[in-house]
């Protein structure tokens, strides 16, 4: 298998993880998919800059993060909001439970979206992607103690937000 084919196969294998991360960063499925597409294009274009003795996923995560930061600088963050009142008028008991669950999920994502960028990045990498503190530190390029501190502050902020919503 050629180096290019191996690179492409490795890139394809991490797509689900990249999508979760990008959707978590952007707060939008559509924007998350756009971020991943743009990052993959950039990775393919800049393949020669990747060092094979390093982790491909860390390199591409940084590209996703850079793409997202660039987009945030140039445009307002867009979130998809749906009118749950329409669903309630058509809903039975199981549909109402679904609507309530979606509202809670929306509140949670809103609370995550209000976190400072640095805390949100660490929270998503550790809790959603399941990376270790050391892997997260290596990926972002910060000390492990900073990862732990940011994660603790993020969790505390989310707990306070949940308490305020009760």
Half-sphere exposure of 19 (CA within 13 A, CB side): 8
Residue 2 falls inside a structural domain: yes
Residue 20 falls inside a structural domain: yes
- Give the pLDDT confidence score for residue 87 in this predicted structure: 45
pLDDT digit string (tens) for the chain, length 166 residues:
678 888 889 999 999 999 988 888 887 888 889 999 999 999 999 998 888 888 888 899 889 988 887 777 765 434 444 555 554 554 455 555 666 767 777 888 888 888 998 999 999 889 888 889 998 998 888 999 999 999 999 999 988 887 776 6
For residue 95, how many other CB atoms are within 10 A of its CB? 12
> Is the four-CA dihedral 148, 131, 67, 5 of positive or negative sign?
positive
The domain in which residue 45 lies consists of: 1-77
Residue 129 falls inside a structural domain: no
Residue 113 falls inside a structural domain: no
Residue 152 falls inside a structural domain: no
CATH number at residue 39: 1.10.1740.10
Question: Are 95 and 87 contacting, i.e. CB atoms less than 8 angstroms apart?
Answer: yes
Residue 14 falls inside a structural domain: yes
Residue 110 falls inside a structural domain: no
Phi and psi torsions of 2, nearest 5°: -70, 160
Phi and psi torsions of 146, nearest 5°: -70, -40
Residue 15 falls inside a structural domain: yes
- Give the pLDDT confidence score for residue 89 in this predicted structure: 52
**What string of DSSP letters covers 79-110?**
-----HHHHHHH--HHHHHHHHHHHHHHHHHH
How far is Cα 162 from Cα 36, in angstroms, rounded to an integer? 30
In the chain, the number of structural domains is 1
- Give the pLDDT confidence score for residue 81 in this predicted structure: 44
């Amino acid at each position: 298998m050629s180096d290019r084919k191996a690179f492409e196969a490795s890139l394809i294998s991490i797509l689900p993880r990249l999508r979760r991360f990008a959707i978590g960063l952007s707060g939008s499925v559509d924007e998350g998919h756009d971020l991943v597409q743009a990052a993959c294009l950039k990775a393919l274009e800049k393949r020669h800059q990747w060092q094979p003795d390093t982790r491909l996923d860390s390199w591409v995560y940084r590209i996703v993060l850079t793409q997202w930061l660039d987009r945030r600088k140039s445009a307002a963050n867009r979130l998809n909001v749906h009118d749950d009142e329409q669903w309630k008028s058509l809903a039975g008991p199981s549909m109402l439970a679904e609507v309530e669950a979606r509202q809670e999920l929306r509140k949670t994502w809103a609370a995550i979206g209000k976190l400072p960028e640095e805390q949100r990045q660490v929270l998503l990498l550790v809790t959603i992607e399941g990376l270790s503190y050391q892997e997260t530190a290596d990926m972002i390029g910060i000390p492990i103690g900073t990862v732990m501190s940011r994660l603790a502050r993020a969790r505390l902020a989310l707990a306070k937000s949940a308490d305020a919503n009760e």
